[in-house]
Amino acid sequence: MEKLERQQVFRDPIYGYIHIDYAFIENLIDTKVFQRLRRIRQLSGVHMVFHGAEHSRFIHSLGVYELARRFIEIKEINETLSIREQLLFLTAALLHDLGHGAYSHAFEYVFKVNHEKIGAKLIKADQEIGEILDKIDKDFKYDVASIIDKKHKFPIIEQLISSQLDVDRLDYLERDAYFTGAVYGHIDLERLMRIITVKNDKIVFKESGIHAIENYLISRYHMYWQVYYHPKARAFEVILEKIYLRIHDLLESNFDFGHDVTALKRIMEDKNDLEAYREIDDYYMNGLIAHLTKSKDEILSTLSIDFLNRHIWAYLDDTKENAAKIKEIKKEYKDLEKYYTLSTNVEQSAYSETSKNMGDQIYILKKDGNIEPLSAHSSIIHSLITTSIKEDAKFFYKVKK
C-alpha cells in the first residue's frame, strides 16, 4: 500500500493530531457512511448531565484509528502483524462503530437489531467502501467485516480492537473524560504502550507495568459509576427507549405520524434494510422527536416533550424496601405503565456490555515468561471485579402531575 506523499492530519484535542498516512484511509473518512458518524453523538443521554459530552462517534472513530496507528509502531506488534494485517487493523479500528444508529442502545433494544452485525454488513455492502477496499484486495472488506463481527479469524487484531484493554476503550475513556470534564478517566497511554507485547498469539502485558493497568481499570470503574451509569443519564435513556417503543407500537397500528417515518417502518419490516438504517442518525431522530412534541398521540407528545426539554424522570432503588411504592406508581399508570415506568439495572443499560468481566481477560507476562490472568496478581483488581458486578437495579418513572 503506497503511503501519501504528504501525511495528512486532523487537529484533535486528545492526541494533538490524528495522522493519516494512506490515501485509502483518507478516502474511507470521506465516504457518506463514515461522515454519517458526525451525526451520531458518542454518549447519547450523558450530555443531559455532563453538558460537555456533545462529541460524536466520528471523533471517537478517528481516535481509535489513531491509537491503532500508534500501536502498529510498537515493535512487538509491528513484527507480529503482516503489512496486510496492519492495514486490516487500521481499517477495522476506523470503521468499528460504523453500524451505530441514533441512540443505539434504546433503538437496538426496541427494534431488535445489533450494531456490530449491521456494521459488518455495511462494510460488505456499501458501494463507496467497497470501491476503496477492493483496491487493496478482493478479500479485504470481508476480513474487516469478520474482525468487527468477531469471527476469530484474526484473533490478535480482534483482541486489540475489542477486549478488556483495547484501542476502543483507551480512546473513549480518555476522550469522554476530556469532554465531560471528569477528573478521573485519565490513562497512562504511553506506559501501557511500553508494556504491551505479544506472546503465544495473545496480547499480554509485562508484569513491570501492572500499576498502569490497575490505574486503567480503576479509571474505567470510576467513569462507569460517575459518568456512564449516572442515574440521571440512565433516566434520559429510559425516555428514549419509551419513545422508540411508542413509535414501534404506533407503526404496527399504521398510525399517521404527520411526518416522514419511512426509514423506521422499513427497518421494522426488514432488519437488513441497510439503506433505511443509514438514514437513522441523530439528525433524523431529533428532527422527528421535535416534530412529535406536537403529535396527536398524547403518549408520544408527552415523551417527546420530556426528551426535548430535559424533563428527566424520577427513580428509586429497585429494592424490597421500595417494592410497595413502586407497585403503587405502576398502578397509577394502569395499562400505560409500559410507557412511563421501567425497572432496569446497569447490566441492561447502554454501557453494560463493556463492563462485563472487568479485568478477566487481561493477561500478564511474568518475568519468568509465564502468562497469568491479571486478577491473580492484585487484590485491588480482585475487588474491582467483585464490585463491578453489583447490579444497581433502579426503577425509573415519570412523575404524575
C-alpha–C-alpha distance, residues 394 and 232, integer Å: 11
Q: Is residue 196 a contact partner of residue 79, using CB atoms and an 8 Å limit?
A: no
- Count of residues of this chain found to bind a second copy when the rule CB under 8 A is applied: 69
Q: Which is nearer to a second copy, 143 or 176 (CB)?
A: 176
Contacts of 20 (CB under 8 A, 6+ apart): 4, 7, 8, 9, 10, 26, 29
Q: Is residue 117 a contact partner of residue 151, using CB atoms and an 8 Å limit?
A: no
Question: Considering just the CA atoms, what is the radius of gyration of the chain in Å?
Answer: 22
Element (H, E) at 378: none
Q: Which is nearer to a second copy, 124 or 191 (CB)?
A: 191
Instruction: Identify the burial level of 37 via C-beta atoms within 10 angstroms of its C-beta, where 0-12 means exposed, 13-18 middle and 19 or more buried.
Output: buried
Instruction: Give SS3 for 207.
Output: helix
Q: Which is nearer to a second copy, 271 or 382 (CB)?
A: 382
Smallest distance, Å, CB 180 to a second copy?
6
Would strands 341-344 and 363-365 be described as parallel, antiparallel, or unpaired?
unpaired
Instruction: Identify the burial level of 142 via C-beta atoms within 10 angstroms of its C-beta, where 0-12 means exposed, 13-18 middle and 19 or more buried.
Output: middle
Q: Which of 133, 187, 268, 358 is the binder for a second copy (CB under 8 A)?
A: 187
Q: Which is nearer to a second copy, 225 or 333 (CB)?
A: 225
Q: Which of 22, 179, 277, 396 is the binder for a second copy (CB under 8 A)?
A: 179
Q: Which amino acid type is present at position 76?
A: E
C-alpha–C-alpha distance, residues 395 and 345, integer Å: 8
Binding of a second copy at residue 334 (CB under 8 A)? no
Binding of a second copy at residue 373 (CB under 8 A)? no
C-alpha–C-alpha distance, residues 118 and 128, integer Å: 16
Q: Which is nearer to a second copy, 99 or 185 (CB)?
A: 185
Q: Which is nearer to a second copy, 39 or 248 (CB)?
A: 39
Smallest distance, Å, CB 265 to a second copy?
15
Q: Is residue 126 a contact partner of residue 31, using CB atoms and an 8 Å limit?
A: yes
Q: Which of 4, 85, 378, 393 is the binder for a second copy (CB under 8 A)?
A: 378
What is the 8-class DSSP label of residue 226?
Answer: I
Binding of a second copy at residue 106 (CB under 8 A)? no
Q: Which is nearer to a second copy, 3 or 356 (CB)?
A: 3
Contacts of 287 (CB under 8 A, 6+ apart): none
Of 77-85, 99-107, 185-193, 345-353: span binding a second copy (CB under 8 A) = 185-193
Binding of a second copy at residue 255 (CB under 8 A)? no
Which residues share a beta bridge with 185? none
* Residues 34-93, interacting with a second copy (CB under 8 A): 35, 38-39, 47, 50-52, 54-56, 58-59, 62
Q: Which of 117, 151, 186, 248 is the binder for a second copy (CB under 8 A)?
A: 186
Q: Which of 151, 199, 291, 330 is the binder for a second copy (CB under 8 A)?
A: 291
Q: Which of 118, 122, 288, 358 is the binder for a second copy (CB under 8 A)?
A: 288
By the criterion CB under 8 A, which residues form the site for a second copy?
9-14, 16-17, 30, 32, 35, 38-39, 47, 50-52, 54-56, 58-59, 62, 178-184, 186-188, 190-191, 194, 211, 214-215, 218, 221-222, 225-226, 258-260, 279, 281-284, 286-291, 308-310, 378-380, 382-384, 386-387
